[in-house]
Amino acid sequence: MYLQEPAVEKGQYTHLIKAGAVGLLLVLLYFQVMTDLADAWWNDPAASHGFLVPPLAMYLAWLERKSILAKVPRISGTGLWFVALGCVMFLVGRLGAEFFLTRISLLAVLTGLIWTFWGPERLKKLSFPLLLLATMVPLPAIVWNALAAPLQLFASDVATTIAQTLGVAVYRDGNIIHLANISLGVAEACSGLHSLSALMITALLLGFLQCTSVALRVVLFALSIPMAIALNVFRIAGTAVLADYWQDIAFGFYHSFSGWLIFVLGFAGLWLITRLLKGFERKA
């Protein structure tokens, strides 16, 4: 018994050294990438939620630590394919100056390393924290612009219809809403993508924490999309109606407060849907 203790300690130190070496290589490889990503979080309001995602993902992984460690680790060479894929994505992103590929490649490498050294069972337990980490990477500019323009036009059109229904003299020209005394431009920031990304992440978290069925989690996530779009439309319609009567309030207090109001209402709506889905789940 006495002679086995140093061997156990030696094995533990060996694992720590290997893990430290892999971690150091990841830091050296992705230091510039993460620095640029943090800069995007700081300067882009649409990506500012990225600061909260890594600690939140680590906290969720910590909550699942007992069930993760209960799985027997199995070394699997299949994970090396994911590591290789991540390296190729990183190289292509570097050569093509495509930030999205270099940033998302980190998740592919992490997935491959977990699969290689811990096996698929532990990887499955960590699938949601890894999925959550993917939300910290901003969408490519080409995808963002492709989504923003249709959402701007849709929000402008429906908001104009709502304002006309409420008796406001208004007409739309593209993404410009013309009132009697003023014109409103539905800019890219008002397309609803900001609130959409926030509510989609909220739906992911609520589904993971409150629903045990994967199907109900998917339903909750899917419902967050039309909810975010609808709330943004009502926000723009409210601005148009208020601007017809009280321009100072419309472009002052309401414009500043309505962004937070959308998120609060969206969170409340998602929470209510979650409770309804849980009730349906218990009955089923």
In terms of pLDDT, which residue wins out, 238 or 103?
A: 103
Identify whether the C-beta of residue 253 lies closer than 8 Å to the C-beta of residue 238.
no
Is pLDDT at 279 greater than 90 in this prediction? Answer: no
In terms of pLDDT, which residue wins out, 217 or 179?
A: 217
CB-based contacts of 250, cutoff 8 Å, min separation 6: 239, 242, 243
84 pLDDT band (50/70/90 cuts)? very high
What CA–CA distances, in Å, run from 192 to 40, 200, 229, 263? 19, 12, 6, 11
pLDDT at 111: 93
CB-based contacts of 87, cutoff 8 Å, min separation 6: 105, 109
For the chain, the structural domain boundaries read: 4-138, 142-283
pLDDT at 189: 64
In terms of Cα–Cα distance, which of 239, 263, 238 is closest to 251? 239
Max distance between CA atoms of the chain, in angstroms, equals: 90
d(CA 65, CA 157): 49
In terms of Cα–Cα distance, which of 231, 225, 206, 226 is closest to 216? 206
Which helix (H) or strand (E) is 171 found in, with range? strand 171-173
The per-residue pLDDT for range 200-237, each reduced to its tens digit, is 899 999 888 888 888 888 999 999 999 988 988 888 88
What CA–CA distances, in Å, run from 1 to 6, 11, 12, 13? 10, 16, 17, 19
% of the chain surpassing 90 pLDDT? 24
pTM (global) more than 0.85: no
pLDDT at 255: 67
